[in-house]
Structure 1
């Protein structure tokens, strides 16, 4: 099964080729007609200003979250090789991408998960040129929060085949067990991925939401990130939940990589 990664539009093919050194790799933009290449939170509502201040929009058409005030956690399939990179612009600080109060900062370095080859290990870090004065989103370090109902948010499409959104959308999706998810996705990697969505569909992340966080409240009622938007079959289709990188699996690697940047 082709992994329909939730990267936005035409940028997907170019970034996928760049990520694999120009090799011909099937990507959502290259392998599917436009109707199958969707971006955004489907079935969502507009987020309130300041509701999720850690959310980041990346210029290649992905999302992310502030891991530190100078590092963004996103998906590996959104970026190229590990190394210096000043081509990415991160926009944050407002739900409105056109707001005069938005903050934009260029990247200086990209760290892509070691061993990433398009299947699993879908996480990456982007170092910004300067820190920002915004709250960060802590990540889960155990599987304790890998259940229940999650929140997803992004500027991706609000329907399959739709267009990028100006305003941040949010939605809630329930946990789907590995056993159930593998009925839809036989190539799921349970040790590295977590699924969420409704059996009837209707609510999901979509292309353009790639790299964004899936999060919930922890025991102290603070937001904690448990997933990274990774892939799925279309957007909000019945019996095809969204697939997310299981953050707790890679928490120690993420922390070590961030400390080295």
Structure 2
């Protein structure tokens, strides 16, 4: 039987809450109670500098994402409602301040949700943009070589459980958590499709509103590489409940094939 925690994804509902209130929380937190109605940011994070993570994208449905290509955003499957033509999503890029006059806003044209996605695992999706966002892209891991060490997470989600979405991009660092350890917290973890990160004592994690955003680290050449996609967790930054992320390397070939067909 699936753990009910999977029902609590880390996306946020945008509407009643103004984007000016958007914030970010560190990865690792999810909720055992119903998700708050307002979006949330990375918990335990600090403000990112302009241009520090130029591949970061904010999506109008209350999720994050990263530029896989200048005209394609990689995000979470649970952030979208299926595949096909879709012009309802607005991607905001090029800024850390969502209210900046320099923000680049581009509408979507198509969405591809991971084939076979049913709410458990396979939590990735691609959004095709009407025109490119002229910012550096974030390469994705194609093997498990980088599934270790300390990762960076960033987003405009809540900065505390139950908090509001943030206006400014927040960032935080979280350590890798082994599958064995993560399974002790989440019995329905899917090793090979999901990867965990966070501190045993809690305090730093992603949160509602960070869903779909990247978890990344430096590769051997010193360049950023995406290892995970913010997916789910129990609350935000709770002790012994790390954040759960889609393991990007598992789906790298499928993502590349899907992107080529968009």
TM-score, normalised with respect to structure 1? 0.90
* Distance verdict in 2 for CA 1:101–1:10, change over 3 Å: closer
* 1:39 Cα deviation after fit: 2.2
1:34 corresponds to which of 36, 54, 57? 36
Cα separation, 1, equivalents of 2:14 and 2:138: 29
SS in 1 for 2:99: coil
Cα separation, 2, equivalents of 1:177 and 1:39: 26
Cα separation, 2, equivalents of 1:135 and 1:154: 17
SS in 2 for 1:249: helix
List alignment gaps of at least 5 residues for structure 2: 16-29
1:168-247 alignment, distance < 5 Å: 168-247=169-248
The answer to whether structure 1 residue 151 and structure 2 residue 152 are counterparts is: yes
* 1:9 Cα deviation after fit: 3.7
1:33-52 alignment, distance < 5 Å: 34=36, 39-52=40-53
List alignment gaps of at least 5 residues for structure 1: 12-27
* 1:177 Cα deviation after fit: 0.0
* 1:33 Cα deviation after fit: 6.2
Which consecutive aligned stretches of 4+ in structure 1 deviate over 3 angstroms post-superposition?
none
2:10 corresponds to which of 6, 12, 37? 6
Alpha-carbon contact 1:38-1:234 (below 8 Å) kept:
no
The match for 1:17 is: none
Alpha-carbon contact 2:39-2:62 (below 8 Å) kept:
no
Measured against aligned partners, the alpha-carbon deviations of 1:183-233 in whole angstroms (never above 9, x if no partner) come to: 000000001000000000000000100000000000000000000000000
What's the RMSD between the two structures over aligned residues? 1.6
Alpha-carbon contact 1:109-1:128 (below 8 Å) kept:
yes
The match for 1:65 is: 66
Cα separation, 2, equivalents of 1:116 and 1:199: 30
Alpha-carbon contact 2:14-2:39 (below 8 Å) kept:
no
1:82-97 alignment, distance < 5 Å: 82-97=83-98
The match for 2:259 is: 258
SS in 1 for 2:109: strand
Measured against aligned partners, the alpha-carbon deviations of 1:116-164 in whole angstroms (never above 9, x if no partner) come to: 0000000000000011211000000000000000000000000000001
Alpha-carbon contact 2:111-2:126 (below 8 Å) kept:
yes
Cα separation, 2, equivalents of 1:38 and 1:109: 24
Tell me which of the two structures has the higher relative contact order, counting C-alpha pairs closer than 8 angstroms and 6 or more residues apart. Answer: 2
The match for 1:79 is: 80
SS in 2 for 1:34: coil
Cα separation, 1, equivalents of 2:13 and 2:188: 24
The match for 2:22 is: none
* 1:167 Cα deviation after fit: 0.1
Alpha-carbon contact 2:95-2:102 (below 8 Å) kept:
yes
* 1:10 Cα deviation after fit: 6.8
